[in-house]
Amino acid sequence: MIKIERHVNLNNWINVSIYNKLVDQFSSRIEAVRFAKRIAKERRMKVLDLDDNEKSHKDLLNDS
């Protein structure tokens, strides 16, 4: 499972991890979601978005 969540100590960074292992960090939420969706498609996995932002990844990408 691929997980998107805010960094615990640095609120402006978003972590993308696979099975609790950090893969990459982003300062832009849209870039993090795009990266996670691309990796999920390649590995046939699901994305769990734990970021408590008011917009969902579907709203940001407009390709649901």
pLDDT, greater one: 56 or 47? 47
Say if CB 4 and CB 49 are below 8 A apart.
Answer: yes
pLDDT(59) > 80: no
Burial class (CB within 10 angstroms; exposed 0-12, middle 13-18, buried 19+) of 16: buried
How much is the pLDDT for 64?
Answer: 44
Say if CB 14 and CB 51 are below 8 A apart.
Answer: yes
How much is the pLDDT for 62?
Answer: 61
Which tens digit of pLDDT belongs to each residue from 10-54?
989 999 999 999 999 999 999 999 999 999 999 999 999 887 654
Say if CB 32 and CB 23 are below 8 A apart.
Answer: no
